[in-house]
Chain A
Amino acid sequence: MKARVVASRVVVTGVGIVSGVCTGGAAAIGPVLESGRSAVGRVTAFPTDGLPSHLAAELPPGALAALVEPAEARRLSRVSQMTLAACRLAVDDANLGDLSDAHLIVGTEFGDLRSTEEFAAGYLRRGAGGLSPLAFPNTVMNTMAAASAIALGLHGSSVTVNARRVAGELAVGRGAALIAGGRATAVLAGGVDELSPLMFAVLARLAAISPRGGGEEGCRPFDRDASGPVRGEGATFLVLESLEAAAARGARALGEIRGAAWRSGARAAAIPPALEAAGLAPGDIGWIYGSAAGDPAQDAAALRSIRRVFGDAGPATTSLAPVAGEHAGLGAFGVAAATWTARAGRLPGIASLRRPRPAAREVAAGPGVHRVPVGPGLVHGVCRGGDDVALIVAPMGDAA
């Protein structure tokens, strides 16, 4: 196949994080990852009595109220508020003024499920007269993108991508590809999901989340005692710009997305094409933010994908799932964290890791913060049998 078209280098100029563990711009990342904090705790927003699961990484109460205007809080659903808040934080962090030509890519797994349920419940309670016309648009997953584009005055494309487990990584990858291909100069890309009582109850009863019918509840990637993922909620968005556009406005660049690729199917392998796009070899990668979240089969699939490229003793691999819970914002959080690691040479380990699975022993980064090479690393999202997404993140100057 012919070479990829690369019209422009892609830099990250802003970060906006709304999560259980922290809220803010790029400056919030280092301190929270150095601290080893986790937002995983007993669910407080709704009762979990009678369910097998009780843990999640929730946004702190009141976190959103500080980030959106009261009028927006009245008008927008909670997940749209998260999206808008994270987008605004990212735009402020990037000091980006005019968004009229910018594009928006929102990754989500569950969309606005809470509004969908409320809309249907209105009918079931009161018949056709119980339906809220204002709530109906929220039943479509593009509602967060639509609400945010309106609030931000953004007139480029506004795209919502839906995927299991990797929607955030996919959104960032597509955003990077838009810029690399010369189709855009500025893209807001990231992911969002919220915890809703219905979603939590269904996942708990289907044994899709920890403790999956046995064992101790908790998020333990790569651990022999792993008992399933723990859900989180929040939104993380990045401002991606072409290097020329960022330089022209004197923007600070936090890092560069050197390569992005996504593939699908049982033998999906996105890392090799991402490395090729970055012009790097496996040995150039110093660390990995993976998507392991404590589902043994998913984690094993992620490890296989990594080992096929890097061998048995690959780069130190971590996961932010125990920090902020599994949600589509986490993929973009990982890219934001990767820009920090690429600059600082610091990788937060997996605080919950006690008894690594044999296959992970050589690579899984245990508790504490690890020294890793300053330089390029990998953000890797995997959904077993489905998608494999690879993003190569490097510090500025490395590629020069």
Chain B
Amino acid sequence: MTRVVVTGLGAVSPFGAGVKAFWEGLASARCAIEPLTLIETEGFRARIAAAVPAAAVDRLAASRRRSRADRFGLAAAAEAVEDAGLSRAELAGTALVVGAVGGGMLEAEAWYWARARGHGGPDGGAGLATVLPCAHADVIGRRLGLGGPRETVVMACSSGAAALAMAADLIESGAAPRAVAGGVDTITRVCYMGFNALRLLDPEPCRPFDRDRRGMTIGEGAAFLVLESYADARARGARIYAELAGHAMTTDAYHVTAPDPEGSGMIAAIRGALDRARLTPAAVDYANAHGTGTPQNDRIEARALARVFGEGRLLVSSNKSQIGHTMAAAGGLEAAATVLTLTQGVVPATVNLTSVDPEVPFDCVPRVPRAAPVHAAISNSFGFGGQNVTLAFTR
């Protein structure tokens, strides 16, 4: 079977642009959640978010025809490609799989809001030209000269992880020797209002796995990984960060917004990824959890992890405590964090965690990152519609 390895990383996160800023933010236990100023928040229960800092956004390449999300995606994908040291010829055969949800919705909303309030053109112009999620792939593919298979996958909050799983499929099947894959999303009015309407947002910075957690905090960003067949990576002398040893995607088919209380879809995804990676549960040291901070998700995810790994031994933490839930970008950013955890030997903390929920029978690495050798780790991503993805990485 074709082995798939990670040879490049790129990120734009609430800690700023670049993988270096992302990892330094994670490793220093900072929390990037702040009052939200990108959109109107008047009258809503939660008025905070983890936005990409304006100073960092200003430095990203701009164009009238690119949405905020396009700019995040392009910067992260370009960093990953440069990190991997790919030539133009290699890029011409490289696949691109983008996990996305919001597309250029932020800009389209600006037009729609203005129109509804009686000022604004009738046609929407540039704002609507970039509204579809697939617009990111058009921008990234064209700018980086990627000519292999190109796909945009929309799987709600597991989109970024799904993109990585689908890219690995392309490499394993021989459809492409390598792929640029990950996720991108921005805060939009629609998602902010929707999570508020569902009362899923914590008015305070989210506290995954805490007994007193009250919901999630939204975030934004982008992360892309260069995935490559081991043989091709070796042949061109590439630096290998880690192996994407297994991946699995399942569906709860239970409820549109609530996870199956038994966690059976999550369990099937975790077991599927381990089986494919030929890893026993005992071989896994760390789970980069979906860990949104909603009462339901964290309880059910912990139960699913306990069913597969047993209680106790596994280290579990949630990057969302630091960067919020970056939605379609989350699977990409958290996969990048998981890979860096393997290479750096440091497990990011679950910040804001003061009293662990007794229903979470794990060491959730509260407040302070942990130096620990990690040989194998999983990254979980679960989306609305019960769409579950687990990725398994090994050193």
**A interface, CB within 8 angstroms of B:** 1-5, 104, 109-111, 116-117, 119-121, 123-124, 127-128, 131-133, 136-137, 139-143, 145-147, 149-150, 152-164, 170, 174, 177-178, 180-181, 183, 202, 205-206, 261-265, 267-268, 273, 385-387
A308 to B: closest C-beta gap in Å: 15
Are the C-beta atoms of A120 and B141 separated by less than 8 Å? no
Are the C-beta atoms of B197 and A131 separated by less than 8 Å? yes
> For window 85-133 of chain B, which residues contact chain A by CB distance below 8 Å?
92-93, 96, 100-101, 109, 112-113, 116-117, 122-125, 128-129, 132-133
| Pick from B116, B151, B173, B253: contact of A155, CB under 8 Å | B253
CB-defined contacts of B134 to chain A, threshold 8 Å? 162-164
**Residue among A3, A157, A273 with the most chain B CB within 10 A?**
A157
Closest partner residue, chain B, to A264 (CB atom): B150
CB-defined contacts of B198 to chain A, threshold 8 Å? 133, 136
Closest partner residue, chain B, to A80 (CB atom): B256
Q: Is the interface of A mostly helix, strand, loop or mixed?
A: mixed
Residue interface mask B189-202, A partner, CB < 8 A = 1? 11101111111000
| Pick from B128, B169, B197: contact of A181, CB under 8 Å | B169
> Given that A1-B177, A133-B198, A202-B123 are contacting pairs, would A142 and B150 also be in contact in the complex, using a CB cutoff of 8 Å?
no
CB-defined contacts of A181 to chain B, threshold 8 Å? 169, 172-173
CB-defined contacts of A109 to chain B, threshold 8 Å? 132
> For window 159-179 of chain B, which residues contact chain A by CB distance below 8 Å?
162, 166, 169-170, 172-175, 177
Are the C-beta atoms of A145 and B385 separated by less than 8 Å? yes
Q: Is the interface of B mostly helix, strand, loop or mixed?
A: mixed
CB-defined contacts of A162 to chain B, threshold 8 Å? 100, 132-134, 152-154
B99 to A: closest C-beta gap in Å: 10
Are the C-beta atoms of B249 and A159 separated by less than 8 Å? yes
Are the C-beta atoms of B251 and A156 separated by less than 8 Å? yes
Are the C-beta atoms of B193 and A131 separated by less than 8 Å? yes
Query: How far apart sit A151 and B191, CA to CA, in the bound complex (Å)?
Result: 25
**Residue among B112, B125, B255 with the most chain A CB within 10 A?**
B112
CB-defined contacts of B122 to chain A, threshold 8 Å? 205
Are the C-beta atoms of B142 and A265 separated by less than 8 Å? yes
Are the C-beta atoms of A202 and B128 separated by less than 8 Å? yes
A272 to B: closest C-beta gap in Å: 13
Closest partner residue, chain B, to A105 (CB atom): B153
> Given that A120-B189, A156-B251, A202-B124 are contacting pairs, would A140 and B268 also be in contact in the complex, using a CB cutoff of 8 Å?
no
> Given that A146-B386, A170-B151, A206-B128 are contacting pairs, would A140 and B174 also be in contact in the complex, using a CB cutoff of 8 Å?
no
CB-defined contacts of A128 to chain B, threshold 8 Å? 43-44, 193, 196-197
Closest partner residue, chain B, to A124 (CB atom): B116
Pairs A-B, 6 closest by C-beta atoms: A146-B385, A136-B194, A264-B150, A157-B249, A205-B123, A131-B197
Pull 14 A–B residue pairs with CB atoms less than 8 Å apart, ordered by A.
Answer: A124-B117, A133-B197, A137-B257, A140-B154, A141-B154, A142-B155, A146-B256, A154-B251, A161-B152, A177-B169, A181-B169, A206-B124, A206-B128, A386-B138
| Pick from B100, B138, B150, B194: contact of A139, CB under 8 Å | B194
CB-defined contacts of A157 to chain B, threshold 8 Å? 162, 249-251, 387
Asked if B374 lies at the interface with its beta carbon under 8 angstroms from chain A, I say: no
Are the C-beta atoms of B162 and A123 separated by less than 8 Å? no
Query: How far apart sit A127 and B41, CA to CA, in the bound complex (Å)?
Result: 11
Are the C-beta atoms of A142 and B384 separated by less than 8 Å? yes
CB-defined contacts of B146 to chain A, threshold 8 Å? 264-265
> Given that A127-B43, A159-B162, A263-B147 are contacting pairs, would A133 and B141 also be in contact in the complex, using a CB cutoff of 8 Å?
no
B159 to A: closest C-beta gap in Å: 8
Closest partner residue, chain B, to A207 (CB atom): B123
CB-defined contacts of B145 to chain A, threshold 8 Å? 265
A4 to B: closest C-beta gap in Å: 4
Closest partner residue, chain A, to B158 (CB atom): A142
Are the C-beta atoms of B250 and A140 separated by less than 8 Å? no
Closest partner residue, chain A, to B389 (CB atom): A157
Are the C-beta atoms of B116 and A261 separated by less than 8 Å? no
| Pick from B93, B113, B142: contact of A124, CB under 8 Å | B113
Are the C-beta atoms of B197 and A149 separated by less than 8 Å? no
**Residue among A154, A163, A164 with the most chain B CB within 10 A?**
A163
Given contacts A111-B154, A155-B253, 7 further A-B contacts (CB under 8 A): A1-B177, A127-B43, A133-B199, A150-B256, A162-B100, A163-B151, A264-B146
Closest partner residue, chain A, to B268 (CB atom): A155
B136 to A: closest C-beta gap in Å: 10
B107 to A: closest C-beta gap in Å: 14
| Pick from A2, A143, A158: contact of B174, CB under 8 Å | A2
B324 to A: closest C-beta gap in Å: 18
Are the C-beta atoms of A5 and B172 separated by less than 8 Å? yes
Query: How far apart sit A152 and B249, CA to CA, in the bound complex (Å)?
Result: 17
| Pick from A111, A119, A127, A387: contact of B194, CB under 8 Å | A119
> For window 305-332 of chain B, which residues contact chain A by CB distance below 8 Å?
none
B115 to A: closest C-beta gap in Å: 10
B257 to A: closest C-beta gap in Å: 6
A387 to B: closest C-beta gap in Å: 6
> Given that A178-B169, A206-B123 are contacting pairs, would A149 and B251 also be in contact in the complex, using a CB cutoff of 8 Å?
yes
Are the C-beta atoms of B148 and A263 separated by less than 8 Å? yes
CB-defined contacts of B256 to chain A, threshold 8 Å? 137, 143, 146-147, 150
CB-defined contacts of B133 to chain A, threshold 8 Å? 141, 162
Query: How far apart sit A137 and B146, CA to CA, in the bound complex (Å)?
Result: 32
